[in-house]
Amino acid sequence: MGNCLHRVSVWWDALWNETYNYTDADLDLAAPCRSCSLLDRSSLPFFALTSALGILGGGALLFVLLKPLACWQLCPGRTILAQVAGGSTLFSIVLPILAPGLNPSPHIALCCLGHGLWYASAFAQALLVCVHAYLGPELRQSWLLKLSLALWGVALLMALPVALASDVTSGLCTLLFSHDVWVWYVVHIVVCIAIFLILPLGLVGGWIVRRVRGGGPRPRANVLWAWFLFWWLHAVAMGFDALVRSNALVINECFAQQTLDFLLDSAKILGILHCLATPFLLALFCHCTFLSPTPQSSQLYPGGKLEGSQGGNY
């Protein structure tokens, strides 16, 4: 993926023919800095394949969680986990909208919709993972629908700034940092750092405190926490990029700018790959729960069968 663009030498060579005493080092310093983009139009097969596999994996797991097999009836918090699978599937469905090269001239409204749903699904999954870690199957039936609607509503609101900062540049859906929308861009960066970086650190901190003090059972660490590994770099990279764009952090070396561009593309690729890993993480969590059921799940589902009372399907 990606094509590296080298130093343009159209008018630089013309300068060489002038009477001025320019050296090769002088020309290299004056030449514009070009980065190697990993997500240009040549990356379209990556987007298409990831989207197709993500839809198949997420849709299959969503069906299994909503119509569970007998061996997965001990999986605590099935309704919350099904929403995580649904968010991952939604991300995969929206992915082609932002794929470079699929539409040579995308409409700005389509880019706003794509960016908004893309990040809304990611924010919702992060919030659902945290809710599952702290509440899990202890959440009552009467509160489940209200909490789910609230989480998705908050995720949509947090994705509104990135939708307002979206635009079309050179036929690609991008995020602008202009004087008109820079506020929305900064708000989006703050939200990404809070959700993808501070939130998992809070989970880990809460788990450490519980272990040290020997407190209650929550939060309980599980394999679902690995979901944040696909997004923390995205928050860090976008934070550095915002500092560079606002001139709060000045980069004078071309290599440093190229490294930041490479980091941004790599973080975006890692975030995209979460839609392939999420179904696997959810399946692994339910499988591990079935092999070693916790006392809580045994109380909720005695004899390995679901009860029709409250607290049975979350």
pLDDT tier, 300 (very low <50, low <70, confident <90, very high otherwise): very low
Name residues whose C-beta falls within 8 Å of residue 21's C-beta, 6 or more positions apart in sequence. Answer: none
Taking residues 106-127, report their average pLDDT.
93
Tokens for 172? Answer: 């690609």
| Domains of the chain, residue spans | 41-304
Question: Which position has the higher pLDDT, 13 or 267?
Answer: 267
- Residue 117 CA to residue 106 CA, distance in Å, equals 16
How many CA atoms does the CB half-sphere of 121 hold within 13 Å? 24
Token pair recorded at residue 300: 């909720």
Strand duo 166-169 + 36-37: pairing = unpaired
Distance, CA of 181 to CA of 111 (rounded, Å) = 15
Average of per-residue pLDDT across 114-139: 88
* Residue 8 pLDDT exceeds 70: no
- For helices 232-245 and 182-193, angle between their N-to-C axes, nearest 10 degrees: 150
| 215 vs 45, residue with greater confidence | 45
Supply 289's token pair. Answer: 């729960």
pLDDT in tens, 43-95: 899 999 999 999 999 999 988 888 766 555 557 778 889 999 999 999 999 99
Q: What is the dihedral of CA 84, 90, 94, 99, to 10 degrees?
A: 50
Q: How far apart are CA 183 and CA 87, in angstroms?
A: 27
- CA distance readout (Å), 27 to 71, 170, 252: 68, 28, 16
Confidence tier at 143 by pLDDT (50, 70, 90): confident
> 154-193 pLDDT, tens per residue?
999 999 999 999 988 877 888 887 777 889 999 999 999 9
- CA contacts within 13 A on the Cβ side of 7: 14
Per-residue pLDDT at 219: 75
What's the pLDDT score for residue 164? 92
CA nearest to 103, candidates 58, 158, 147, 44: 44
Element containing residue 124 per DSSP (H, E)? helix 108-134
The average confidence (pLDDT) of the chain is 80
Q: How far apart are CA 155 and CA 27, in angstroms?
A: 49
Tokens found for residue 75? 């999986």
Residue count of the chain, please give it.
Answer: 314
Residue 26: both structure tokens together: 């002088």
Angle between helices 232-245 and 254-272 (to 10 degrees): 140
- How far apart, in whole angstroms, are the C-alpha atoms of residue 188 and residue 162? 6
- Residue 122 pLDDT > 50: yes
**Which pLDDT belongs to residue 199?**
94
Percent of the chain with pLDDT over 90: 40
> Which pLDDT score, from 0 to 100, does residue 308 have?
38
- Amino acid 114: pLDDT: 92
Per DSSP (E only), the strands in the chain are: 3-4, 36-37, 166-169, 172-175
What number does CATH give the domain 41-304? 1.20.1070.10
Mean pLDDT of 194-219: 85
Q: How confident is the model at residue 293 (pLDDT cuts 50, 70, 90)?
A: low
Cα-based torsion angle of the residue sequence 10, 13, 15, 18 in order, rounded to the nearest 10 degrees:
-140
Work out the widest C-alpha separation in the chain, in whole angstroms.
Answer: 91
Please tell me whether the peptide bond between 219 and the residue prior to it is cis, using omega within 30 degrees of 0: yes
Kindly report, residue by residue over 244-279, the tens digit of the pLDDT: 888 888 888 888 888 899 999 999 999 999 999 999
What is the reported pLDDT for 66? 81
